[in-house]
């Protein structure tokens, strides 16, 4: 008969998941000289998720009525579109609709939560002003705010 071996069972440890979004900057389009083409502004950001897989979701809401993605101006609101790419330095990505969570983004599993050491950025936020919206806009300044919610999956 074999001797009894000590056995310790460790249950599934549950650790609070941490998410972080850094390296965001204000989006400025400046004065636009043409309304005939779409105008895109892309910035590389750091999305971190402490889940085992590094997968995360993104949810966006704007400052328009009901969280709509619109910019307030001198006359009427101007809509804009958002895209998210799970890699830096991208000019296109997955469309983000207002108040809708889009999941399955990877790349959030990084060593440095602020992406300051090994990973300078992990994702791209792309803001698009479509030519149709631009051509219908009244001249003047437009502004708005954007809320992004990152959740580990």
pLDDT in tens, 66-76: 999 999 997 88
What pTM, to 2 d.p., does this model score? Answer: 0.84
> How large is the average pLDDT for residues 12-41?
82
Please count the other Cβ atoms lying within 10 Å of the Cβ belonging to residue 106. 16
Q: Would the pLDDT of 4 be above 80?
A: no
Q: pLDDT-derived band of residue 83, with 50, 70 and 90 as boundaries?
A: very high
Q: How confident is the model at residue 99 (pLDDT cuts 50, 70, 90)?
A: very high
Q: Is it the case that residue 29 has pLDDT exceeding 70?
A: yes
pLDDT at 115: 75
For the chain, what percent of residues have pLDDT higher than 90? Answer: 54
Would you list the DSSP string of 43-87? Answer: EEEEEEE-SSS--EEEEEEESSGGG--EEB-SSS-EE-EEEEESS
Burial class (CB in 10 A: 0-12, 13-18, 19+), 99: middle
Q: What is the pLDDT of residue 152?
A: 86
Q: Is the pLDDT of residue 2 over 60?
A: no
- Residue range 134-144, pLDDT digits in tens: 998 888 899 99
For the chain, give the number of residues. Answer: 153
The per-residue pLDDT of the chain, averaged, comes to: 84
> Per residue in 100-136, pLDDT tens?
999 999 876 666 666 777 667 889 999 999 999 999 8
Q: What is the pLDDT of residue 71?
A: 96
């Amino acid at each position: 008969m074999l001797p009894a071996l000590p056995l310790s069972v460790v249950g599934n440890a549950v650790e609070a998941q941490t998410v972080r979004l850094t390296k965001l900057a204000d989006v400025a389009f400046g004065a636009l000289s043409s309304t005939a083409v779409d105008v895109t502004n892309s910035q590389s950001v750091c999305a971190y998720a402490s889940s085992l897989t590094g997968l995360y979701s993104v949810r966006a809401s704007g400052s328009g009525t009901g969280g709509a993605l619109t910019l307030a101006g001198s006359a009427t609101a101007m809509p804009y579109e958002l895209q998210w790419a799970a890699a830096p330095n991208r000019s296109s990505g997955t469309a983000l609709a207002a108040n809708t969570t889009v999941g399955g983004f990877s790349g959030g599993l990084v060593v440095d939560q602020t992406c300051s050491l090994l990973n300078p950025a992990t994702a791209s936020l792309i803001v698009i002003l479509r030519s149709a919206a631009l051509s219908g806009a009244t001249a003047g300044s437009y502004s708005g705010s954007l809320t992004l919610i990152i959740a580990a999956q």
